[in-house]
Structure 1
Amino acid sequence: MAPGTGSCKKKRDTESSPVSELSDDLLVEIFSCVPYRSTCCCKCVSRRWHDLVSHPDHRKKLPQSTLAGIFYQIRNENTGYQSLSGNWTRLGPNNIADYVVCNPVTERWVVVRATNCSSNASIARLGFDPAVSSHFHVFEFVPASSVGANRPTIAGATTDIKSVGIYSSKAAVWARRVGWKSPISVRCTSESVLFRGMLYLSTNAGLVIGFGVEGNRRVIRAPMTHSDDDVHNVYLSQGQLHFANKGTSELSIWALDGSNGENWTLKHNVTHLQLLGIEFSSFVWNYDVFVHPEKSVIFIVLNYYSSLVTSRQSCTKLMSYTVDSKERRFICDLGPNCRAPYLSYVPFFSDS
């Protein structure tokens, strides 16, 4: 067989198949009728199919990966996963020397070796955006003082961060370690999101700090006056960076205008009574929230004690609040001993 004959024959067979005669619009209509996981497989068939599925103009028509559940911490240092369909899983202890990054869908995992600073690290975060790349980054935050580091974090505890190490899965090495003069005070359980190459988290000084994968930093002022009693976090929803502030009487959620701007727009303002209902309105400081990544839905994780005849039992409820319809819905009981951070999980089926 002459060199290249096999590949040419395969190309001719593909081009002469009945499917190749279908127009792009008709193919997109067919793709829209199959599950999201199947559309990921369609991208591997040919360059044409890959471009059709990936094209921005077709994303609204095609099925999208959506929120499947949440990850959260359990007080005995295990990690739990609660799917929105009702299944609960204990994922095992996390007090190991190295970091382990796992994709629950593909069941593939990678061990990220610890550094000399890892034993003193008080916060570690995963930076991953499947819309941009299948590669990920690990951000390892080291406090100004190692006293008390590497201990179980307590809800609401704060730490003063002085440097960050950044691991790149593409290079398979800890690529950078960046330090700064003035420590940054953050809650150990604060949420963080990767948005356009930067990992964002909120500080206790009324700021949102972005740490770039290249070692650069960005500082954005919070959209409202800082109060010591307020609890705030950052989230990614509908393609925008969001800032949620839980005040004494209400929850406000703001969206950042543009990718490089520093102006915030108020999106939602919800009272605690609207979120929790009359039954749980007295537990104002006993709940955490996170925002749906694609919809105007707020998820509430309510922690409280139920008074029984003989003892007090710790309870955790997962509820949702739809902003447009103002509908509040109970989802499931998470069980006792749950704690922040609560991380939304959107399945990622493809490896490249």
Structure 2
Amino acid sequence: MGEDKEESPKKKLRQDDPPASAASLFTDDLILEILSRLPARSVHRFKCVSRHWRDLIADPVNRKKLPQTLAGFLYNGYKSGAAWSRHFASVSGRGFPVDPSLPFIPNKYKHIVLEDTCNGLLLCACYKTPATIKDEYRYVVCNPATGRWIELPPPPQPLANRFHSTTRLAFDPAVSSHFHVLQFWQTSLVMEIYARGVDIFSSQTGAWIHRDGGLLEKITLFRSTRSVFFAGMLHLVGRLNPVNTDKESALVVLVLVDMEGKAWKTIRLPLGSSFETVGLSQGCLYYAGSTNTYFYNNNSKKNRVLSTTKITLWCLENYDSGEWVLKHSASIDEPLDRTWVDCTVFAIHPDCDTVFLVPTRGEMLACDMQHQKFVHILNLEKDNVLIYLPYIPLFSEALADADE
């Protein structure tokens, strides 16, 4: 009995107390230091350890030290008369609030069109007059979480040709506070559109460079699909056009380009999908696609249309050989009131095997591919442009050469 009374309090705590009590032995600084080294998905799970941990992780001051996950999607709205609007769709309703009006950008810009996002930064095309094809614009790169922004100098090509280009943002805060903007110019030749050059802006040099050649004369880039900045190269979805049309067929590929426009490569994508998107998830490059099939229900008095959509999720397990491995597949079988409704997979969650899709205009769904579960996220604004830019908050103040 005497030995029980003299037992060390710490030893008794380790044996009898729940993990939440044991976690209370850590100081707040030590907890934040540990959490800052974990993936965002793990950080969110640790909110369940205790109320104190939950409040510590949710504290806005501590967000700057912790990894962030997907907050939602930014997208453009369009109405007649070239009037553009901007919107934010939260995927959870509890994420970091984003003001899509971007109030920190100067009032001299009357119209702002969202172009691309990459690891917390946002690329915009800003107009001083109502946005039309012939109006000039300037690119602005900003951080919505901090309000810092930078205006880019005009690219080498005429600004009026913007609608014949594909522009993407490349940024990795784990490597550098500097970013790159790549503008691929395309031209029409024999009823086909081919990329003919790329202009690359570096925030480190503050200047654009122009590059020709490489694989560009054989590539048609898909403007509506996402790009990924990974391993120092930008990855875009495109079509590799055959040189000899009698013997070869076009291939859907990933087009890889480095930040100097000197190294080019293609990786063949899995076959059989009508719509494609790529994303960086769980540290690997992923690809998701969907195939839509439509047929009439002859047994229905209304002769309704049935749709079957198959979604596939692939992982690039061998980056050097370009080997894709099928991780999950899921099917949607749903009767439709319209005769033609596409289901488009447009994004992949960065922390889990979840894809986001739009089966009809005005809706957004999330599909947990591992558990075959579909969840309705929200209704989107009407007359939206069907390009949704994933947004992950970046609380770092660093933005090379940014204006206050």
Is the CA contact 1:303–1:317 (under 8 Å) kept in the aligned structure 2? yes
Question: 1:331 and 1:102, CA in 2 relative to 1: closer, same or farther beyond 3 A?
Answer: same
- Output the CA distance in 2 between the equivalents of 1:131 and 1:282: 47
Determine which of 147, 154, 158 is the counterpart of 1:114: 154
Question: 1:339 and 1:288, CA in 2 relative to 1: closer, same or farther beyond 3 A?
Answer: farther
What whole-Å deviation, never above 9, does each CA across 1:273-308 have from its counterpart, x for those lacking one?
3xxx5678976514443111111111122334xxxx
- Output the CA distance in 2 between the equivalents of 1:208 and 1:280: 36
Determine which of 152, 161, 164 is the counterpart of 2:195: 161
Counterpart position of 1:58? none
Counterpart position of 1:330? 376
Alignment of 1:1-352 (within 5 A): 27-31=29-33, 32=35, 33=53, 34-35=56-57, 38-39=61-62, 63-76=66-79, 77-84=84-91, 85=93, 90-91=100-101, 92-94=111-113, 96=127, 97-117=137-157, 118-121=159-162, 122-145=165-188, 159-180=193-214, 182-204=217-239, 205-215=251-261, 216-224=263-271, 230-248=274-292, 249-273=309-333, 285-304=342-361, 316-352=362-398
- Output the CA distance in 2 between the equivalents of 1:251 and 1:284: 15
Question: 1:145 and 1:175, CA in 2 relative to 1: closer, same or farther beyond 3 A?
Answer: same
Shift of 1:167: 0.8
Q: Aligned partner of 1:131: which letter? A: A
Question: 1:280 and 1:187, CA in 2 relative to 1: closer, same or farther beyond 3 A?
Answer: farther
- Output the CA distance in 2 between the equivalents of 1:279 and 1:325: 24
Q: Aligned partner of 2:68: which letter? A: S
Q: Aligned partner of 1:73: which letter? A: N
- Which moved further from structure 2: 65-74 or 287-296? 287-296
Question: 1:317 and 1:344, CA in 2 relative to 1: closer, same or farther beyond 3 A?
Answer: same
Please provide the CA RMSD for this pair. Answer: 3.2
What whole-Å deviation, never above 9, does each CA across 1:5-55 have from its counterpart, x for those lacking one?
xxxxxxxxxxxxxxxxxx99985335444337545656xxxxxxxxxxxxx
Show structure 2 runs of 5+ residues with no match. Answer: 1-24, 36-52, 102-110, 114-125, 128-136, 240-250, 293-308, 399-404
- Output the CA distance in 1 between the equivalents of 2:396 and 2:175: 12
- Output the CA distance in 2 between the equivalents of 1:107 and 1:330: 31
- Output the CA distance in 2 between the equivalents of 1:301 and 1:280: 16
Question: 1:41 and 1:81, CA in 2 relative to 1: closer, same or farther beyond 3 A?
Answer: closer
Is the CA contact 1:72–1:342 (under 8 Å) kept in the aligned structure 2? yes
- Output the CA distance in 2 between the equivalents of 1:218 and 1:179: 12
- Output the CA distance in 2 between the equivalents of 1:250 and 1:240: 23
- Which moved further from structure 2: 179-188 or 136-145? 179-188
Shift of 1:75: 2.7
Is the CA contact 1:210–1:217 (under 8 Å) kept in the aligned structure 2? yes
Any idea what SS the aligned residue of 1:80 has?
Answer: strand
Is the CA contact 1:82–1:88 (under 8 Å) kept in the aligned structure 2? no
Is the CA contact 2:138–2:151 (under 8 Å) kept in the aligned structure 1? yes
Shift of 1:255: 1.1
Any idea what SS the aligned residue of 1:339 has?
Answer: strand
Any idea what SS the aligned residue of 2:213 has?
Answer: strand
Any idea what SS the aligned residue of 1:182 has?
Answer: helix
Question: 1:253 and 1:286, CA in 2 relative to 1: closer, same or farther beyond 3 A?
Answer: closer
Question: 1:214 and 1:112, CA in 2 relative to 1: closer, same or farther beyond 3 A?
Answer: same
TM-score by length of 1: 0.71
Any idea what SS the aligned residue of 1:35 has?
Answer: helix
Is the CA contact 1:200–1:208 (under 8 Å) kept in the aligned structure 2? yes
Is the CA contact 1:322–1:328 (under 8 Å) kept in the aligned structure 2? yes
- Output the CA distance in 2 between the equivalents of 1:106 and 1:278: 45
What whole-Å deviation, never above 9, does each CA across 1:104-136 have from its counterpart, x for those lacking one?
000111101222314324211111222322221
Is the CA contact 2:329–2:369 (under 8 Å) kept in the aligned structure 1? no
- Output the CA distance in 2 between the equivalents of 1:280 and 1:268: 29
Question: 1:344 and 1:41, CA in 2 relative to 1: closer, same or farther beyond 3 A?
Answer: closer
Show structure 1 runs of 5+ residues with no match. Answer: 1-22, 43-62, 147-157, 305-315
Q: Aligned partner of 1:299: which letter? A: F
TM-score by length of 2: 0.62
Q: Aligned partner of 1:110: which letter? A: I
